[in-house]
Amino acid sequence: MYSVSQTMEREAAPTLVFDDAFTLHHRAVYRTAYAVVRDVGLAEDVTQEVFLKLYHHMDAVPGDELLRAWLLRVAINVARNTLRGRSRANAREEEFAKSATAGTDGVTTALDVDYERRTQIEEARRALDHIKEPMRSCLLLKEQGLSYREIASALSVNEVNVGSLVARGRKEFARVYGKIGGRR
Amino acid sequence: MKNCLDEGTLQAYLDGELSPATMKDAAAHAAACDACADAVREAEAELSMFAAAFAYEDAVVVPSARLRERLDASIAELQPSAPPPHAATMTDAKPNLRQWLATLAASFTLSPARATAFATLAAIVVIGVIIANVRTPEIDKAPTEMASNKENSASVSTTTNVQNANDRDLATSQGAARVPQVVESNGDNAVTSPRRGVGVEMVKASSRQVRAKCQPQTRTMAAESNVAKATDGARPSDEKELALPGEENYLIAIASLNRVIEAGGDVALRPALRADLERNVAELDKAITASRRKAQRNPQDKDAKDFLFAAYQSKVELLTTVADQTQMAALGR
């Protein structure tokens, strides 16, 4: 006879465990979120939301191999939605002004750097803002160490095109960043 | 130079994303072609510029411990009853549904979608097998009896057609279908999949039969199973406390169907089949009990209610088919 318990046992073993997913990928999620929202508090909120989504959709997310891509895709979307609720430019200026004057907020050492460094960070961010999607997200995800396959999955682009998207993004960044910073 | 690397291939080459063979070709070409060698140098410079520009950003400290604490707190809030909150693999964002899923998971560890699918599948498979077994003795009997049987149901042409088709189907697979061992082979897809198709047709045909009440012989029984006309005399006493709207009708229908099946007796339903039926009814009852408990606790929980009624529906369909077939078997005698 059809055995309920056997069916249960087979299907109850998830391919991945939530804890492992968090341990392995929370850094990439946080950094990706931070790269978009540029605020440690917001990046935390985004990370929280991403993993709650994972928690609710454990049986619907792709397997181990593409889990990171799924998480970072969600992270980028959540981060963008978070920003949409705020005035992007205002928030950025505010944050920059705050970090420039306050310096230490006890949250991160990355912002606790000298003025020159903060200026450099701001210039890099502005240059990045000039890069159009999906090149920009390609660069961000490549920075997080994603493979072309993962990037293609996360951004819904053809894997064959990832190389050229990265190349174009990188060129555009160099052009704008060189112009802003007078480095070239 | 020919076959120069395009920007995508060059980038993939730098990122180590080309296949080993293509990687070799690209390296050989870059070594031989001045233009491509320049392009590689430029790309590398740009990449290092990018990396340097974001070196401080990348150095941002990830507050792992705080993230974990916050997450655990949120999950614990969502699900106060379950001790290891993140061990569950649930699907819905609504906290109340999650709690219900947890209780459901505790009782039979199936996600609701799977549980519903399983209950339906189990019901359909068993119906198919029971029908096959109930009807087989008829086929064994004299053709004249079959003929008279067909005359009885001639008023419902569609139903008769389906049944005839099923008769043929069963006749061809009689060797396998007539003995109770078929029940054991339920787990085998090769055997169940065609039979499931038969079962679905049978369910449709027989429910149509009951609803249409076209056959004189089944009219009284069908009327008995009619929800509006039936009384609750045979309702199980433990279910009387229930006050969920809509549940009453299912209970009445189930009670009258049970009476019909009992009236058929052991002759119409062989002991092995009866045991199978009871096992499947028990599975459905388990699902009904679990979801009813949840629905009673939280009357706003629409999902629990939907699941409860789906389980009831499966049970009614199963019993309807069995009741129908016991009557048919009785007529064939």
A7: pLDDT strictly greater than 60: no
Q: Which residues of B touch A58 (CB under 8 A)?
A: 88-91
- For every residue of B176-218, DSSP letters joined together read HHSSTHHHHGGG-HHHHHHHHHHHHHHHHHHHHHHHHT--HHH
Query: With contact defined as beta carbons under 8 Å apart, do B252 and B230 qualify?
Result: yes
Q: Is A24 on the interface with B (CB under 8 A)?
A: no
Identify the band that residue A92 occupies on the pLDDT scale cut at 50, 70 and 90: low
For A3: left if phi > 0, alpha if psi spans -120 to 50, otherwise beta; the answer is beta
Q: Which residues of A touch B274 (CB under 8 A)?
A: none
The answer to whether the CB atoms of B66 and A44 lie below 8 A apart is yes
Lowest mean pLDDT among A102-111, A129-138, B93-102, B221-230: B221-230
Q: Any idea of the CA torsion for B245, B247, B252, B253, to the nearest 10 degrees? A: 120
Q: What is the pLDDT along chain B (333 residues), one digit of tens a residue?
A: 557 888 898 899 888 888 888 888 888 888 888 888 888 898 988 888 888 888 777 777 888 888 988 888 888 887 665 544 444 444 444 456 666 655 555 555 455 666 666 677 777 887 888 777 776 655 444 444 444 444 444 444 434 444 444 444 444 444 333 433 333 333 343 333 334 434 444 444 444 444 443 344 444 444 444 443 334 444 444 444 555 777 778 888 888 888 877 777 666 667 777 778 888 888 888 888 888 887 777 777 777 778 888 888 888 888 888 877 777 776 665
Q: Which residues of A touch B109 (CB under 8 A)?
A: 8, 12
Neighbour-count burial of B6, counting CB atoms closer than 10 A to its CB (0-12 exposed, 13-18 middle, 19+ buried) = middle
Q: Give the best-scoring range by mean pLDDT among A1-15, A110-124, B103-117.
A: A110-124
Looking at residue A46, what is its pLDDT? 92
Looking at per-residue confidence, does B297 or A137 come out higher? A137
Across chain A, mean pLDDT equals: 78
Q: Is A105 on the interface with B (CB under 8 A)?
A: no
Instruction: Choose from A3, A5, A7, A183 for mutation: most chain B CBs within 10 A.
Output: A7
Residue B280's SS3 state is: helix
Looking at per-residue confidence, does A58 or B245 come out higher? A58
Looking at residue A102, what is its pLDDT? 53
CB atoms closer than 10 angstroms to residue A5: 9
Q: Which residues of B touch A19 (CB under 8 A)?
A: 86-87
Q: Is A58 on the interface with B (CB under 8 A)?
A: yes
The partner residue sitting opposite B12, judged by closest CB among A11, A19, A148, is: A148
The partner residue sitting opposite A26, judged by closest CB among B53, B64, B74, is: B64
Within 62-81 of A, beta carbons closer than 8 Å to B belong to none
What would the two tokens of residue B186 be?
């339920």
pTM to 2 decimal places: 0.45
Instruction: Choose from A22, A26, A34, A55 for mutation: most chain B CBs within 10 A.
Output: A55
Q: Which residues of B touch A160 (CB under 8 A)?
A: 8
The answer to whether the CB atoms of B63 and A164 lie below 8 A apart is no
Residue in chain B closest to A18 (alpha carbons) equals B86
Looking at per-residue confidence, does B196 or A165 come out higher? A165
A47: pLDDT strictly greater than 90: yes
Neighbour-count burial of B84, counting CB atoms closer than 10 A to its CB (0-12 exposed, 13-18 middle, 19+ buried) = exposed
What value does the mean pLDDT take over residues A52-59?
A: 85
What value does the mean pLDDT take over residues A18-38?
A: 88
Euclidean distance between CA atoms B109 and B111, whole angstroms:
7
Looking at residue B268, what is its pLDDT? 64
Q: Which residues of A touch B59 (CB under 8 A)?
A: 109-110
Looking at residue B49, what is its pLDDT? 85
Euclidean distance between CA atoms A58 and B89, whole angstroms:
5
The answer to whether the CB atoms of A31 and B62 lie below 8 A apart is yes
| Residue B195 distance to chain A (closest CA, Å) | 14
Q: Report how many Cβ contacts below 8 Å link chain A to chain B.
A: 163
The answer to whether the CB atoms of A3 and B187 lie below 8 A apart is yes
Cα four-point dihedral sign A50, A51, A52, A56: positive
Looking at residue B280, what is its pLDDT? 84
Q: Is A120 on the interface with B (CB under 8 A)?
A: yes
Looking at residue B100, what is its pLDDT? 60
The partner residue sitting opposite A31, judged by closest CB among B9, B58, B183, is: B58
Looking at per-residue confidence, does A157 or B203 come out higher? A157
Euclidean distance between CA atoms B270 and A92, whole angstroms:
77
Looking at residue A74, what is its pLDDT? 92
The answer to whether the CB atoms of A4 and B108 lie below 8 A apart is yes
How many helices and strands (H and E) does chain A possess? 9, 0
The answer to whether the CB atoms of B86 and A55 lie below 8 A apart is yes
Looking at residue B101, what is its pLDDT? 58
Lowest mean pLDDT among A34-48, A144-158, B123-137, B177-191: B177-191
The answer to whether the CB atoms of B71 and A22 lie below 8 A apart is yes
Contacts of A73 (CB under 8 A, 6+ apart): A153, A154, A155
The CA–CA distances, whole Å, from B324 to A153, B55, B218, B232 equal 53, 75, 8, 20
Q: Is A163 on the interface with B (CB under 8 A)?
A: yes
| ipTM higher than the 0.85 cut | no
Looking at residue B220, what is its pLDDT? 40
